[in-house]
Each structure stands twice: as structure tokens, then as C-alpha cells.
Amino acid sequence: MPCPICDSNDHDSQCTDREAVLAAVGKDGWALWHAPDELKADKEVFEAAKASMIKAVGQDGLALEYAPDELKAEKEVVLAAVGQNGHALKYAPDELKADRVVVLAAVGQDGYALGYAPEELKAALWYAPDELKADKEVVLAAVGQDGHALEYASGQLKADKEVFLAAVGQDGYALGYAPEELKAALGHAPDELKADKEVVLAAVGQDQDGTFRSS
């Protein structure tokens, strides 16, 4: 594939020409891959590449996978990507996967993809570190977008009444991820009733043994 800077299969002097690099990264942030280290460190070049990459991942968040590492490490780039497609969190560096603002943006866009989906299609919450799976605001954002995200919440938050009701309110079948005590109480109910929000609310209302905690 021709170099996006010098349009040649073999790098030539244009690849080290600052103006040529600046023009190339302004059109295509991926061109930063081909820039020499001294120009990657050039602030104007880097900012031009960053702006181009933000625009690109804002149109296709999963394109973050192929971004140069220097740009993946930029919070604004990752926020643009996960805002377009929550699954892009998979391609963020570990320090940004653990960033609460980034994860909230990701799960707000896509709280859950079926747990049996291919790895690349799993939900944003699945990729979050354990401490964020235990963060109530993050989990509420996820289950509010897709109730099935409750599967990936911490055990403590699965037993949180507000979180649980938000999940089943969004999708009644999130009941499948309820604490075992509640599932046992409804175990003999037909599937259509297990998915009925009023039935679940009634079951929660009969929580005499304190399965759920309020916060």
C-alpha cells in the first residue's frame, strides 16, 4: 500500500518533510503511522493528526482499533470513538478503559451486546475494569441503555434495588441476572410473567428476607 505521505511504496524524502507530513495527517490521521519520530513529536503535526482522527472515529468508532498508539492514548479521541460505538472501548488503552468519564460515555451509547456474541461484539461494560463494574452510576447508565448489561455488574449492584429495577424496566428478561433468591421466588412463573415488570415489582416488594439493598 502506498505511503499516505509520499504516495510511494518506498519511503522517500517527502516522508521527513514537515509540510508534507502536516498536509497528510490533516487529511488522514492514520498517516501519523508513517511520520518519523521527530515529527510525531511536533505539536502542530500531532494536533492535526488528532483532529483528523477524532473526525474519523466519530463516524466509525471501531476504527479506533487501527489508530496509531499515540492517538489511542488521547482521551478526546477515545471519547469520540466510544460516543459513536460503545464497543470501541475494547480498543482503548488500559488507562482509558479505567477512566470513569470514558466508560460512562461507552455504556451510555451501548450498554450490552449478547454475552454469546463474538469477542469484538461484546458490550462496553464487559471491557470495563472490575472497579467500574461496581460503580453504581456506570452500571445504571449501562442497564438504562440495555437491561442485559446487568449480567456484568458486580454482585453487590445486582442486588441493588435501584439498579435491578432500572434493568428490568428496560428489558424484563434482565431478571435472568437477578440474585438467586429472587429467581427462586419466581422460578415457577411462566416466562411471560418473568418478563412482566409488574410481576417483578411485586416480587421485589415481597423482599422480606432483605435480598435487595437500597442505597
Chain mean position to CA 71:
17
Q: What are phi and psi of 7, to 5 degrees?
A: 55, 35
Domain spans of the chain, in order of start: 1-85, 98-215
Q: How confident is the model at residue 113 (pLDDT cuts 50, 70, 90)?
A: very low
Sorted by sequence, the CB contacts under 8 Å of residue 46 that are 6+ apart come out as 32, 40, 70
Q: Which residues pair with 160 in a beta bridge?
A: 213
What gap in Å lies between CA 135 and CA 6, rounded to an integer?
48
**Residue 108 grid cell:** 451510555
Minimum mean pLDDT range among 135-144, 155-164, 197-206 = 197-206
Encode pLDDT of 44-96 as tens digits.
988 999 998 999 899 999 999 988 899 999 999 999 999 999 888 889 898 88
**Residue 62 grid cell:** 471501531
For residue 213, the 8-state DSSP code is B
**Residue 112 grid cell:** 450490552
Q: What pLDDT shows up at residue 115?
A: 29
